[in-house]
Chain A
């Protein structure tokens, strides 16, 4: 339970359906004595209080698990290292994979619970081969992209009570249950950077990439910059436009500090490589190359593609249509219709 309306409503729905519910909230960051300690993002002390209040209101036990150190190691340190090496990390996927699902299901089993339920917008459909992970029916809220890293044996112990609902329906249900956070705004920012200023955070944490030059595709310098971590593939803002032409970040070379920019057309790419490929069902796909649709970031549609059989965890992806903004460090998630088949990290 994050303290937000989604997980609170999921809990209330399960309770109404007759389940015995135990609430769990992860404490992931330390903000003792700072203004952030009364902030209002996922997993802040304020949100922990909201989760606790919901559990008390609905009358089920609630526990706070302090996973600050694990979160620091698995998510924040990774986030900083990724920026330092010129990549664009996705901490939410990492958190789901390393902290939210496996360890919470482990916790559930340790306390004798049968299932782990969360307020994610995604669906699980049971089949003889194990559950299939599907997109939420509310495509605008769909969070299945963030879940590709959750292993099949963990998914087998998971429930998503909100998967068939829209956000509006969830808020309506929350009001019907009388939940105090029914109208709490959605969290938008990364939970450990409530200000939303990634650059400042990365710099404060010693993760700044090297300073260097912004160069064009031919390698001609256009300007100096103060750190590669300030750039993301596909970014336009803040780039020099000496001839009035819009330019986009094409590539970040952390080793040399070079940020390569070019026109929008140069961003379009059909081939990419992914690392650390995993599958959401115990039985990986049988036919190669795999025909699927690949989504390269959360707010993007999936593009039809071919994926080669993984070799030592890595695979090649060939998109049918040239696609812009393929950023190393982000997840490439493989869909078959609404089903998440698997995914990997863009190399």
Chain B
């Protein structure tokens, strides 16, 4: 099996599983307990907190462990906005490109009376700084924009945007889940108030993550009934997960520079081959802007992306069509729709996300078979895929 879906999840880095197994066995205590077993577990959690903090360039007390990216986004957005709302700020700025965890949290705030500005985006999925500045209001509570987009791989100028937001007294949260581990990350330099990361996107275990919250900010808990994480996130800590997370951060940081260079070279090799297929195009900024080293969102005109992805899967090659959290057949990608593509074209995206495990031989293997797969999908799609026209329109959301 060849794994090209590092944006969905990245395999455990070498050494992480061992550290977690040791923690499971050697650290049976509850970190909140007063006895020796508790103290040992607590010490391991705090060591991991130091590792995560150092990975982000943050302070230990600025790290809140969570169950992952979705919880981190929910906690940051809903908690910070509610707190700001009590000071009379009830406006949120976000973009239509955000991960469902961000979009869902913002929707929930809208339902309780916050007003929301969804920033306009360009055809390449860029956010216009001028439009952002114009969207800021005196009552803007919070801005939430991803550091890197999960589908396009676009990297956004968060430091500049956060500075503008700060000038207007608005808080700034960034979902850094996709960026973390794939590029150098210095959260203080970004100047954001909160940043979400997730362990399994950078070679750590699933179901553990961290929220960076700038020192001095109130973060009322969403879950209730415990004092853990300085009363910001109650619940007994996932000790082994947190230990594995810490180790993964350390390993990712150590490998980051060489890995990014190597992965970028693989991506360039991949994209040269993909673009030699007639009717292929790259979505997002392509080479015209900053992009994650390993993320390619490619489309083949007339070939629904999901069918190409399944064709590759049957060849033992794992890719996806977008956020793993959304399953679809002809369903267009919300991210590509937001860039202004019509539904049919927006359902053509195939996301190939490379990472630390990948090799040149694996890239060549994909390049060797994707042309045949695309041709077969196009042939079937050219005959309407068995749909009557009206039902197909409904399937891809033309009527929606």
Contacts and interface: CB of A to CB of B under 8 A. Distances in A.
Contact of B385 (A22, A73, A74, A110): A110
Given A73-B394, A74-B394, A111-B311, A106 B384 contact: yes
Contacts of B313: 61
Contacts of B86: none
Interface stretch (A64-72, A188-196, A199-207, A258-266): A64-72
A111 B386 contact: no
B387 A61 contact: no
Among A69, A98, A110, max chain B CB count under 10 A is at A110
Interface stretch (B59-67, B208-216, B272-280, B325-333): B325-333
Given A69-B400, A73-B399, A102-B387, A107 B394 contact: no
A101 interface: yes
Contact of B329 (A66, A105, A109, A154): A66
Interface residues of B, number: 31
B307 A70 contact: no
Interface string A74-109: 100000000000000000000000110111111101
Nearest to B373: A112
Nearest to A105: B386
A70 B314 CA distance: 26
B2 interface: no
A16 B394 CA distance: 38
Given A69-B400, A106-B385, A154-B386, A112 B314 contact: yes
Interface stretch (B26-34, B334-342, B374-382): B374-382
Contact of A112 (B311, B391, B394): B311
A229 interface: no
A110 B395 contact: no
Given A73-B394, A74-B391, A66 B327 contact: yes
A230 interface: no
Nearest to A101: B386
A92 B394 CA distance: 19
A67 to B, nearest CB: 6
A27 interface: yes
Contacts of B394: 69-70, 72-74
Interface string B291-316: 00000000000001011001101100
A98 B391 contact: yes
B287 interface: no
A112 B304 CA distance: 14
Interface string B53-78: 00000000000000000000000000
Nearest to B393: A73
B258 interface: no
B307 A110 contact: yes
Q: What are the 4 A-B residue pairs with the smallest beta carbon separation, nearest first?
A: A106-B386, A102-B386, A106-B385, A73-B394
